[in-house]
């Protein structure tokens, strides 16, 4: 559909909200307009907050059974990857804007993903980190290019201008993530060539 998914339209109807594209929806969507930071910066800030919380507060450490289940960080990477990929879907973004409970779920799951990622990076060998970083960088760059170059509005919650800014931001952050990881990997290999 041109203005979002069928699921989003059902949500709008269930909440007695006007459909996107109608005259009544224009004012409502302009007030609900989400800038690029909600999809882009908020996700990364929540991931960073979860990672920093796991680092500074030992009480947030993962239970012993999780540690044995997440031996090389693979389980943490897979869980975090699934959560992050889900919140990049346009229908999930729209639902989080329409339903406050769903937005709280988004905040909590992204925070937990930060905790999982910190634990996974501590346990994972360099080859496994490369696999997941490579996947995330390519996914973010592809999605960023798609958001930035399409002339279709993919989310009801975004204006086309916000979507374009989000696309370029995703591309920049994807490349930055790749270069930061490469720099970190280079430093580790210089300190310990056996890594």
- Answering whether pTM is above 0.85, one says no
Give the residue carrying structure tokens 């060539």. Answer: 193
Q: How far is CA 64 from CA 57, 69, 111, in A?
A: 16, 9, 20
Residue 73 gets the label, from left (phi > 0), alpha (psi -120 to 50) or beta, of left
H helical segments located in the chain: 6-14, 23-32, 36-39, 41-56, 64-69, 74-86, 90-98, 100-123, 126-149, 160-191
With a cut of 50, list the residues of the chain below it in pLDDT: 1-22, 24-25, 28-33
Closest to 80 in 3D by CA, of 121, 134, 130, 39: 121
What angle (nearest 5°) sits at the alpha carbon of residue 19, between those of residues 13 and 25?
125
Q: Which two structure tokens, joined as six digits, stand for 68?
A: 């044995």
Task: Classify 19 in phi/psi space as left (phi over 0), alpha (psi -120 to 50) or beta.
Answer: beta
Provide the pLDDT for residue 8. 44
Give me the pLDDT at residue 171, please: 93
Give the per-residue pLDDT at 64: 62
pLDDT score recorded for residue 160: 83
pLDDT at 17 (0 to 100): 44
């Amino acid at each position: 559909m041109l203005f979002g998914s069928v699921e989003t339209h059902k949500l709008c109807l269930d909440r007695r909200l006007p459909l996107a594209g109608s005259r009544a929806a224009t004012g409502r969507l302009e007030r609900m307009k989400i800038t690029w930071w909600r999809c882009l910066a908020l996700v990364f800030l929540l991931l960073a907050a979860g990672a920093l919380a796991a680092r500074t507060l030992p009480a947030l450490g993962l239970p012993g059974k999780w540690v044995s289940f997440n031996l090389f960080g693979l389980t943490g990477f897979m869980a975090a990857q699934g959560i992050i990929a889900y919140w990049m879907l346009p229908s999930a973004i729209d639902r989080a804007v329409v339903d406050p409970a769903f937005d709280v779920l988004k905040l909590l799951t992204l925070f937990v993903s930060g905790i999982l990622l910190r634990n996974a990076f501590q346990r994972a060998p360099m080859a496994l980190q490369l696999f997941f970083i490579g996947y995330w960088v390519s996914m973010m760059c592809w999605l960023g290019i798609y958001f930035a170059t399409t002339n279709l509005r993919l989310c009801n919650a975004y204006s086309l201008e916000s979507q374009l800014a989000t696309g370029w931001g995703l591309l920049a952050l994807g490349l930055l993530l790749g270069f930061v990881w490469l720099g970190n990997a280079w430093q580790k290999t210089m300190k310990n060539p056996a890594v």
